[in-house]
Structure 1
């Protein structure tokens, strides 16, 4: 890891620790924008000129990238941006938003529907799911949604390596009970901490698909370690995000969620309703980003970080420049 990457990794770690202190000491005050940008398609917005806006993100690759995309968009629009990325855990990040410690958080409709609002039954249709989340979040929590991206659905599923796929004949999640019955030695799972306990994670999958894992065969790993462990056969079934770039680089096979258990995880901008009312122009700032992002695009961006080792801020700024959304100073 080079010095630049190491310094940002240390920053991410320190901010993640700050997230753990939310309830007692509050999050850290944040830092300034890591890289400079100039307006492109996203032009200065007079109402945002000089206004300080704090952008947060959760502590995994895609969220770091999305957070920086939001920061660079706001900077191009003329806002004074504070960076509070890499907050530990979805609930902590959401609490930071509702308690005024951050102003902007790209989030997922499924996470809000199940985890923040406590619904057990996801809505399979993406637009219907978004409308339900938008209404409920506003009424219950004073949280508004804007710049929704229906082209990105970063939902969960399980993956297997190609050897396991052929040897066990698995194509879909409903094949797991058969594998557990016929090949109990292969009924091993790698999941992260949140997935192990979330309603839209392992407990819900077990209930929906009619199986029960042996706790001794469930390994709880960091999100990033799951992909390599699955590729190497440390576990047969690995929990993954469908937009993760390591799926392609490690040649993993995704299992179809044939019972449509997992919610839609379309991504959008969340902010307090009073802030969106004060600055309705924020929608026009973020909309061009959402319009250009797809699952494939996001998978490529994630791979640049997780596979190639690039810095999330560099990846985000380069992509925005390629799309013409912003300009990089000195590059015309």
Structure 2
């Protein structure tokens, strides 16, 4: 796989603090990385020359989603600044609350648990969306809109071979194995998943895993997938359900039989005052959200993480194939 070019001020730091975002400022963003022409998205007079900064987190799916927003708004005539690839959920969130990022796709479960501090998810995609939408607007003036069908929930995965050897198909069975034979349940967890309450600490509590016994290795998210498939460094691993490496490596997702993980549907997030000032932004982006399914997003991710293509190319080609834009 070829190395991917990382963009923006976040690319030059291992971590991104709010101070770094502030010091880089909006000028740290760039214009969209590739040219686009209108398709079904036509220039909108109300957006002509409007400066809009688009953000995303620093993993494949988020980069693609952020660039989809950027290309679409560029085709509509906005003056788009690309501030995708921000390191970590909290850094993107802080940048949005402070007005340094105008719009991004985020996850309803992340909003409910991480940003709003709730411990228990709301069952069901639509009820979870409505709960985070109402609470975040009331508490922070943030607007959630245009929820997509895609639900990129966290999961624990294993290889087909390990599933066959251990008989583990559910998280309850994984918990039993972790408590009785910790080495057989050695687990790689991504950095953020290792500390999030909707991540591994919560899994341990919900499923009654003995934290003193569990064999856990905290590694970069990109390492989890191949390590789990190889079953040498670890036999189980934390994954995102729409990652394209899951089908490519023949990984199996364990059933969350106690219903621990929240719904993680993506939705557009922006400050309410920005949305009120520029209502046509939702006119442009809502039809795009409607096409973002688990299947379509998994395939977009696969093109980057398995085929080694650039996120910008993948995002632009998808928009063009759907007729939203044309490629000059």
TM class by smaller structure: over 0.9
What are the within-5 Å matches in structure 2 for residues 269-280 of structure 1? 269-280=268-279
Secondary structure of 2:147's aligned partner: strand
Q: Structure 1 residue 176 and structure 2 residue 174: aligned?
A: yes
In structure 2, how many angstroms separate the alpha carbons of the residues matched to 1:106 and 1:201? 20
Aligned to 1:301: 300
Q: Deviations over 1:40-91 (max 9, x none)?
A: 1112111111111000100000000000000011011110100011101000
Aligned to 2:153: 155
Aligned to 1:22: 18
In structure 1, how many angstroms separate the alpha carbons of the residues matched to 2:125 and 2:151? 9
Aligned to 2:162: 164
Secondary structure of 2:150's aligned partner: strand
Contiguous gaps of at least 5 residues in structure 2: none
In structure 1, how many angstroms separate the alpha carbons of the residues matched to 2:146 and 2:126? 13
Aligned to 1:319: 318
Secondary structure of 1:305's aligned partner: helix
Q: Structure 1 residue 232 and structure 2 residue 222: aligned?
A: no
Aligned to 2:72: 73
User: Residue 178 of structure 2 contacts residue 185 of structure 2 at CA under 8 Å; is this kept in 1?
Assistant: yes
Secondary structure of 1:195's aligned partner: coil
| Farther off after superposition, 173-182 or 293-302 | 173-182
User: Residue 19 of structure 1 contacts residue 93 of structure 1 at CA under 8 Å; is this kept in 2?
Assistant: no
Aligned to 2:208: 210
Offset of 1:279 from its aligned partner? Answer: 0.8
In structure 2, how many angstroms separate the alpha carbons of the residues matched to 1:125 and 1:25? 35
User: Residue 114 of structure 1 contacts residue 120 of structure 1 at CA under 8 Å; is this kept in 2?
Assistant: yes
In structure 2, how many angstroms separate the alpha carbons of the residues matched to 1:165 and 1:27? 48
In structure 2, how many angstroms separate the alpha carbons of the residues matched to 1:12 and 1:228? 28
Aligned to 2:95: 96
CA separation of 1:269 and 1:65: change in aligned 2, threshold 3 A: same
Offset of 1:26 from its aligned partner? Answer: 1.4
What are the within-5 Å matches in structure 2 for residues 93-132 of structure 1? 93-132=92-131
Aligned to 2:244: 245
User: Residue 10 of structure 2 contacts residue 16 of structure 2 at CA under 8 Å; is this kept in 1?
Assistant: no
CA separation of 1:179 and 1:216: change in aligned 2, threshold 3 A: closer
In structure 1, how many angstroms separate the alpha carbons of the residues matched to 2:236 and 2:137? 37
In structure 2, how many angstroms separate the alpha carbons of the residues matched to 1:210 and 1:27? 44
In structure 2, how many angstroms separate the alpha carbons of the residues matched to 1:157 and 1:56? 25
Secondary structure of 2:85's aligned partner: strand
User: Residue 19 of structure 1 contacts residue 92 of structure 1 at CA under 8 Å; is this kept in 2?
Assistant: no
TM-score by length of 2: 0.95
In structure 2, how many angstroms separate the alpha carbons of the residues matched to 1:96 and 1:271? 11
Q: Deviations over 1:255-279 (max 9, x none)?
A: 0111111000000110000000111
Offset of 1:205 from its aligned partner? Answer: 0.8
Aligned to 1:146: 145
In structure 2, how many angstroms separate the alpha carbons of the residues matched to 1:217 and 1:13? 36
Structure 1 vs Structure 2 CA RMSD: 1.7
In structure 2, how many angstroms separate the alpha carbons of the residues matched to 1:249 and 1:57? 25
In structure 2, how many angstroms separate the alpha carbons of the residues matched to 1:24 and 1:320? 32
User: Residue 153 of structure 2 contacts residue 262 of structure 2 at CA under 8 Å; is this kept in 1?
Assistant: yes
| Farther off after superposition, 89-98 or 187-196 | 187-196
Contiguous gaps of at least 5 residues in structure 1: none
TM-score by length of 1: 0.94
Aligned to 1:49: 48
